[in-house]
Amino acid sequence: MQGQLGFDSMPKKLVRVTPSKLATWVDCPRRYRMTYIDRPTPQRGGAYAHSTLGAVVHNALRAFFDLPLNKRTAETGAALVTTHWKDDGFADSGQAAVYRERAREWVARYLSETDVSVDPIGLERWVSAPAGTIVAEGRVDRIDDRDGELVIIDYKTGRQALTTDDARGSQALAMYAIATTRTLRRKCRRVELHHLPTGEVAVWEHTDESLARHQKRAEETAEELQLAADTFDAGGDPDVLFPPQVGRQCSWCDFRRHCPEGQAAGPPTAPWGMLPP
C-alpha cells in the first residue's frame, strides 16, 4: 500500500510559528539558529534598557486591567509602573529614575484617555490555531470586545510614532487576528498599535483578502526556515543553511559575541542607546 500511495501523498506536518520566530528568520538566519536551533543556547548579551522599559509598561497595563473597576484610576496605573520597575540595562540609577517617571506619565495619560471600564477578553492571551500549512500562534497584549467583534491591541514604547501603514503591514498583528478568530471562534479584523510615548493609536481594519496575503507570506517564510532546520538535522552545514544577515541590527544583537561578521559590521550599541528620547 505504501508503494502504491507513495510518501508524497502523506500530509505535511504543520509548522508552528510565532511572529517573533518569523521576524527573527527574516532578520538574520544565524540569529534564528542560535535562538531556536542550537542547544544549549549560546550565551546572550546583557539587558537593554528599552526592552526593560517596554516590559515594565506591558506588565503595569496587564495588572491594571486585572483590577476591579473601582480601582482603575490613572494614578493606580502610574503606581503599577513603580511596582514593576527594574533598572536593567540603564546607564545608572539616575537615568533609570528619569525613565521610570516618564513611563509613569505615559501610562497615566494613556489611561486617562482610555475607556478603562472595558473588561478585556484577554490579557497577555496565548492564541494558537492552524492556518494553511502553519500553526499561527503568539501572545496578544490585549483583546477587546467591541460591538460583538474582537480587537487586537498591541502596546508599543519605541522611539518613533506609528502610522496606519505600520498597523496594516504588521505581520504580527495579522497573525494574532487569524489565530484569535480561530481560537475564540469570534470575528477579529481590527488591529491597533497603541504608542505610549505619544499617546497615538494606529488602526487597521483587515479584510479576508489582506489576512490571506499575510498568511501566505508567513507560510512561505515558515517553509524556508523549516527546510533549513530539517536539512541541518540531516547533517547540513549550519553556516550555509543559516548565514548571517549583516546590518545595523548587528549592533544590538543578543548573540553578537558569537558572530565575527556581526562584530565587524560596526561598534556595539550601548544598552541604553535605543531608549525613546
Q: Contact 193/201 with Cβ under 8 angstroms? A: yes
pLDDT band (50, 70, 90) for residue 10? low
pLDDT band (50, 70, 90) for residue 98? very high
From CA 42, how far away is CA 60, in angstroms rounded? 31
Q: What average pLDDT does range 221-228 have in this prediction?
A: 97
Give the percent of the chain with pLDDT over 70: 96
Q: Contact 60/80 with Cβ under 8 angstroms? A: yes
pLDDT band (50, 70, 90) for residue 11? low
Express each pLDDT in 155-181 by its tens digit. Answer: 999 999 899 999 999 999 999 999 999
Q: What average pLDDT does range 173-191 have in this prediction?
A: 97
Alpha helix positions (H), the chain = 2-5, 19-27, 29-32, 49-65, 74-84, 93-112, 164-169, 171-184, 208-233, 238-241, 260-264
- pLDDT, residue 12, reads 73
- pLDDT, residue 7, reads 46
pLDDT band (50, 70, 90) for residue 42? very high
pLDDT band (50, 70, 90) for residue 40? very high
pLDDT band (50, 70, 90) for residue 1? very low
Give the percent of the chain with pLDDT over 90: 94
Query: Does residue 187 register a pLDDT over 50?
Result: yes
Q: Which pTM was predicted?
A: 0.92
Question: Beta-carbon neighbour count of residue 134 at 10 Å?
Answer: 23
Express each pLDDT in 65-85 by its tens digit. Answer: 999 999 999 999 999 999 999
Query: Does residue 3 register a pLDDT over 50?
Result: no
Question: Beta-carbon neighbour count of residue 142 at 10 Å?
Answer: 22
